[in-house]
Chains A and B, each alone.
Chain A
Amino acid sequence: QQQVKQSPQSLIVQKGGISIINCAYENTAFDYFPWYQQFPGKGPALLIAIRPDVSEKKEGRFTISFNKSAKQFSLHIMDSQPGDSATYFCAASIRNSGGYQKVTFGTGTKLQVIP
């Protein structure tokens, strides 16, 4: 059972355009929603994150929009640049009985920004 569904699988955007990646979750107990960026040959790196009591978070050109009632959240990359070309993962985490966060990932979106 996939608890975090991510779309699209791949995305091609013109330089300067807006990249939008969508995720949906099922478990309302999730309490933290991070996004990770991964370049080829590297490990995923935390990009931006949001808690479910906030509807939007912006850091530079990256914005998370969160819709708690729809159980959906999305990443917007404004003024997309070729250097943003990477694979992006949404994730959702929940504190488990061991007292630490268990993180579930979406399947990833490969973004290509063309000049």
Chain B
Amino acid sequence: NAGVTQTPKFQVLKTGQSMTLQCAQDMNHNSMYWYRQDPGMGLRLIYYSASEGTTDKGEVPNGYNVSRLNKREFSLRLESAAPSQTSVYFCARGTGNTGELFFGEGSRLTVL
């Protein structure tokens, strides 16, 4: 898993419910990312974090919040889940100066 652990791996929610996806890295890199993957749309950036305590919006941030309380962990929260948020979510960590990312194995979320 390239040193990136995501939990849970699977989750089913009802519309309006909230949940948090957890991500932790076992390296000491500053940058961490949340992407969502949908068929035919590739990987789209939701939020990213350059370092502990800083976060910034990506392409598709609406309906999500993130938290980077320490260097190791970066969580993604859905406050009121919608069916449009049914997707596979990937957390990734950066490597420093290059565009190389190391991804976790994904969290598959279904919103009914």
| A27, CB-defined interface residue at 8 Å | no
Enumerate A10-44 residues with CB–CB distance to B below 8 Å. 31-34, 41-44
Query: Which residues of B sit under 8 angstroms from A6, Cβ to Cβ?
Result: 42
Q: In whole angstroms, how far apart are the Cα atoms of A100 and B1 in the complex?
A: 22
Q: Are B42 and A9 in contact (CB under 8 A)?
A: no
Given contacts A44-B90, A89-B42, contact A34 B99 (CB under 8 A): yes
Number of A-B contacts (CB under 8 A): 75
Q: Are B42 and A106 in contact (CB under 8 A)?
A: yes
With both beta carbons as reference points, the residue of chain A lying nearest to B92 in the complex is identified as A43
Report the contact-size class of chain B (Cβ under 8 Å from the partner): 20 to 34
Q: Are A42 and B40 in contact (CB under 8 A)?
A: no
Binds B, one of A61-69, A70-78, A91-99: A91-99
| A86, CB-defined interface residue at 8 Å | no
Report the contact-size class of chain A (Cβ under 8 Å from the partner): 20 to 34
| A55, CB-defined interface residue at 8 Å | no
Q: Are B100 and A98 in contact (CB under 8 A)?
A: no
Q: Are B105 and A43 in contact (CB under 8 A)?
A: yes
Query: Which residues of B sit under 8 angstroms from A95, Cβ to Cβ?
Result: 97
Q: In whole angstroms, how far apart are the Cα atoms of A33 and B104 in the complex?
A: 21
| B62, CB-defined interface residue at 8 Å | no
Q: Are B42 and A34 in contact (CB under 8 A)?
A: no
| B50, CB-defined interface residue at 8 Å | yes
Residues of chain A at the chain B interface (Cβ within 8 Å):
6, 9, 31-34, 41-46, 49, 89, 91-95, 98-108
In the A-B complex, the 5 residue pairs with the closest CB atoms: A93-B99, A43-B103, A32-B99, A98-B50, A107-B42
**Contacts A42-B106, A91-B99 known; 18 new A-B pairs at CB < 8 A:** A32-B100, A34-B98, A34-B99, A34-B100, A41-B106, A43-B1, A43-B2, A43-B4, A43-B105, A44-B101, A45-B2, A46-B102, A94-B99, A98-B54, A100-B50, A100-B94, A105-B35, A107-B40
Residues of chain B at the chain A interface (Cβ within 8 Å):
1-2, 4, 30-31, 33, 35, 40-45, 48, 50, 54, 56, 90, 92, 94, 96-106
